């Protein structure tokens, strides 16, 4: 009896899901067809107006279409959730609802090309090719006279990444324990701290370091310091997450054994948890430094100092020979870091 009820309930839930899916699919088809196929391609409106009532109308249309076609073979929702019974000799891929699915995919591709303004005409125009030739010749004839300047900027970038990582490590090390579910969620206070910290970390991690660099460059002024702060913040958030996940996956055995000896909780963590996590920690940390060097280059572009900053300046003046040299320098740094970090991480295994 109990089972039967839950089965019926389950079927209803599936039907509701299918209907929502149908509505969304039809609304998407309506909206995209209108905005892209009609507005952009047919009447060639370069900057079509956007109004909130458009998606709302699309949703109404979706609801209507879904209601109308829900019990036919055109219902993508019922089809994809397996609620449409097929005979043995029928294949799902040739049923009408499958074609609705194909239509969705094609529409998405068309929209994608239009949104990114893909144009073979521009790609192969004589003027465009001329420009490409100019920049490539310049890039392949780097101006070695700024080598010293570029090198110093590169060193600045590497040190900036190093300090950002180094400052992040001890902070993330401590926060890692506080953000570990298995250590914190035993009592209400712990659970509150855990949830609060997780939220803060997730928010700060979801904001790109590039954006943090812009924020900090307003705060402390343009230069390596703002870049360093941005990287540091991002590293703390990322490392804390990785560290805490590592702590969550440790084997309880040694922890139990240490608790059973009557050890103090600090000792339990030091002897029961830490030996299980040092290697993955080191590996994550080195990888983070590697990432930070690369990010530091990009962050320089928005005023975070170092080689990225220099690159931005020369690019702004269209001095492509100088840009060429910097690109080579960056490539060498990235390769070296990549290689060094993989060698070290391999050795740690």
Partner 1 sequence: MLEIKNLNKVYPNGYHALHNINFSVPQGEFLVVIGLSGSGKSTMLRCINRLHDPSSGEILFNGVDTTKLKGSALRKIRSEIGMIFQHFNLIPRSTVIANVLSGNLSRTGIFKSIFGIYSAEEKERAMKYIDIVGLRGKEKNRADNLSGGQQQRVAIARALMQNPKILLADEPVASLDPATSHSVMQYLKKVNEELGVTVICNLHFLSLVRQYAHRVVALKAGKLIYDGKPLEINEEWFKTIYGEDAVEVTIN
Of 301, 337, 340, whose CA–CA distance to 153 is shortest?
301
Does 261 bind partner 1 (CB under 8 A)? Our answer is yes
- The CA–CA distances, whole Å, from 260 to 175, 248, 250, 270, 274 equal 26, 20, 17, 15, 17
What is the C-alpha separation between 241 and 45, in angstroms, rounded? 46
Q: With contact defined as beta carbons under 8 Å apart, do 246 and 277 qualify?
A: yes
Q: Using the rule CB under 8 A, which residue among 43, 49, 262, 349 binds partner 1?
A: 262
Quick one: 178 or 263, whose CB is closer to partner 1? 263
Q: Using the rule CB under 8 A, which residue among 196, 278, 332, 348 binds partner 1?
A: 278
Q: CA angle, 329 as apex, 145 and 319 as ends, to 5°? A: 50
What is the C-alpha separation between 183 and 252, in angstroms, rounded? 11
Does 321 bind partner 1 (CB under 8 A)? Our answer is no
Q: Which stretch binds partner 1 (CB under 8 A): 146-154, 166-174, 228-236, 271-279?
A: 271-279
- Interface with partner 1: number of residues (CB under 8 A): 20
Q: With contact defined as beta carbons under 8 Å apart, do 284 and 293 qualify?
A: no
Does 186 bind partner 1 (CB under 8 A)? Our answer is no
Does 184 bind partner 1 (CB under 8 A)? Our answer is no
Q: Using the rule CB under 8 A, which residue among 263, 328, 334, 344 binds partner 1?
A: 263
Q: Using the rule CB under 8 A, which residue among 19, 147, 271, 287 binds partner 1?
A: 271
Does 73 bind partner 1 (CB under 8 A)? Our answer is no
What is the C-alpha separation between 265 and 217, in angstroms, rounded? 42
Q: Using the rule CB under 8 A, which residue among 161, 213, 239, 258 binds partner 1?
A: 258
Residues that bind partner 1 (CB under 8 A): 253-254, 256-264, 266-267, 270-272, 275-276, 278-279
């Amino acid at each position: 009896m109990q089972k039967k009820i839950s089965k019926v309930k389950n079927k209803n839930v599936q039907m509701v899901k299918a209907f929502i899916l149908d509505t969304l699919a039809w609304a998407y088809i309506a909206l995209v067809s209108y905005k892209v196929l009609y507005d952009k391609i047919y009447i060639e409106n370069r900057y079509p107006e956007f109004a909130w009532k458009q998606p709302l109308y699309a949703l109404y249309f979706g609801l209507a279409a879904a209601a109308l076609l829900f019990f036919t073979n055109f219902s993508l929702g019922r089809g994809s959730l397996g609620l449409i019974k097929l005979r043995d000799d029928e294949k799902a891929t040739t049923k009408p609802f499958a074609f609705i699915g194909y239509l969705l995919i094609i529409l998405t591709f068309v929209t994608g090309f239009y949104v990114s303004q893909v144009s073979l005409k521009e790609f192969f125009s004589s003027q465009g090719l001329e420009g490409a030739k100019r920049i490539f010749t310049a890039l392949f004839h780097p101006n070695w006279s700024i080598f010293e300047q570029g090198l110093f900027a590169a060193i600045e970038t590497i040190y900036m990444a190093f300090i950002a990582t180094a400052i992040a490590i001890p902070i993330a090390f401590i926060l890692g324990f506080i953000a570990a579910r298995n250590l914190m969620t035993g009592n209400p206070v712990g659970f509150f701290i855990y949830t609060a910290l997780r939220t803060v970390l997730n928010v700060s991690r979801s904001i790109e370091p590039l954006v943090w660099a812009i924020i900090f460059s307003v705060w402390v002024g343009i230069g390596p310091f703002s870049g360093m702060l941005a990287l540091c913040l991002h590293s703390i958030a990322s490392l804390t997450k990785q560290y805490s996940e590592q702590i969550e996956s440790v084997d309880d055995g040694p922890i139990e054994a240490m608790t059973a000896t009557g050890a103090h909780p600090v000792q339990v963590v030091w002897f029961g948890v830490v030996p299980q996590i040092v290697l993955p920690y080191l590996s994550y940390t080195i990888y983070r430094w590697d990432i930070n060097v690369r990010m530091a280059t990009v962050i320089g572009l928005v005023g975070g100092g170092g080689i990225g900053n220099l690159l931005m300046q020369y690019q702004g003046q269209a001095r492509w020979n100088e840009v060429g040299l910097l690109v080579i320098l960056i490539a060498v740094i990235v390769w070296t870091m990549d290689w060094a970090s993989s060698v070290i991480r391999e050795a740690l295994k």
